[in-house]
Structure 1
């Protein structure tokens, strides 16, 4: 079912798809089966039962108001440790993503993080680490040299689940103190990685915004309009947007010309 069917390490995806986001699941599954090396199972945390699929395991999890779906991600994952630790490698990905190239984390040791595409060339001073010294996600200036993406992370099952449990505790301590990190789960993950650098740091090609997709892209973070989920090809979307722009230009020209026409007729 995956990019490579071997007797190697079993790789399992974790996705959170509550509320309307469950409808984003199927395209991700199709792309993962095609491109994720060693894919064995997909764990779906959701308030709704996903479509029947022998490779998908439903882990019930309630839908929460923003920002709790992301902020409590590590609690959700930790709650199902006994189920999740039965695989070899865990990879969390946001559900509004698509794999487009061979994605191989099967041989990883320890934790895996992905360099954030928006800050790959930024100086330390430009990295958006948490600056609230009261927060457990605070990263002091002497720590951290690489800012990582929150939407793709994982590692060996035991190592990643240990990390999730620690981060869940940190988040709860912040919440008990009335503190919410600026970038929620991403701030927490970056603080963790700043103190305990991941064993594997993947390139920005493992998390590329749709508008910046190139020949080396392996995983795409989709635009917010989610046209991919409506099965509209990239060129068709571009054509539609161009037509919309032309319609606006034509309407503006008509509005500008109409007064002049009236003057001539008089």
Structure 2
């Protein structure tokens, strides 16, 4: 548990049968958002195929894939009640810009579309694969995920934005955890509030010529300082095998796909 009594979800801390009984009675639909802009379309097939095997099995799921190339998305066989929905977006030259624009796009569609189509939103990175069960144990009003590279460090070593001129600024004596930008979510209303606040903070910084140290992740962390998540996911839910297999990790549920970051982010064909 956190100091504000939000559960931190690890293997062995939940009974999935009890949770499934509750969520199935409510007939929930889960929206999964991911961005496949420019070369990142190469990750979509593995992402969707492994999600069909491990993500919210037995539930209705809308996969919202934001992309500048809808025609490049693969055809993947989906289970009943699950849909792959391309959402066309603008192509930005810098990968940092693509990253930061995610908040704007999710915010806008939460208000105009998602609120009418799903009960919960899960917002995650596309360059990943599902490797083990991820189910309704993650669902709550608002959740974040402990960053796998930082979860065991003390607060003073977190890579928060430390420039006081930035809207993402967090003083050295504030903050609870360092959250990953690649896995957050909650109800549509709470995700709307989070992404809207982050986008507005980014635009204020941009107007003043400031770009936060870790882009959208910096603003996400600032938001969670003052709007505590009601549930936190352990690094089981976001891991990179390059960091090994510490004994505390009983499951590796969502794994980074090995890649050449420089090549995949470049503008060259």
TM-score range relative to shorter protein: 0.7 to 0.9
Give, in angstroms, the shift of residue 144 of structure 1: 0.5
* TM-score, normalised by the number of residues in structure 2: 0.78
> Which residue, out of 114, 129, 133, partners 1:84?
114
Structure 1: gaps spanning 5 or more residues: 227-266
> Which residue, out of 161, 174, 179, partners 2:192?
161
> Which residue, out of 29, 32, 35, partners 1:13?
32
Bigger Rg, structure 1 or 2: 1
Deviations 1:197-233 (A, max 9, x none): 111101011000132465511100222249xxxxxxx
Equivalent in the alignment of 2:92:
64
Equivalent in the alignment of 2:178:
147
After the TM superposition, which residues 94-113 of structure 1 pair with which residues of structure 2 at under 5 Å, given as runs? 94-105=125-136, 108-113=139-144
Distance 1:213 1:154, change over 3 A: farther
Q: State whether residues 17 and 46 of structure 1, in contact with CA within 8 Å, keep that contact through their aligned partners in structure 2.
A: yes
The number of equivalent residue pairs is 223
CA distance in 2, matches of 1:107, 1:152: 11
CA distance in 2, matches of 1:209, 1:52: 27
Which SS does the other structure have where 2:182 is aligned? strand
Structure 2: gaps spanning 5 or more residues: 1-19, 77-81, 262-269
Q: State whether residues 213 and 220 of structure 1, in contact with CA within 8 Å, keep that contact through their aligned partners in structure 2.
A: no
Deviations 1:12-67 (A, max 9, x none): 21011011111210100011111111351100111111245671111110111221
Larger displacement relative to structure 2 (102-111 or 140-149): 102-111
Equivalent in the alignment of 2:41:
22
Distance 1:212 1:75, change over 3 A: same
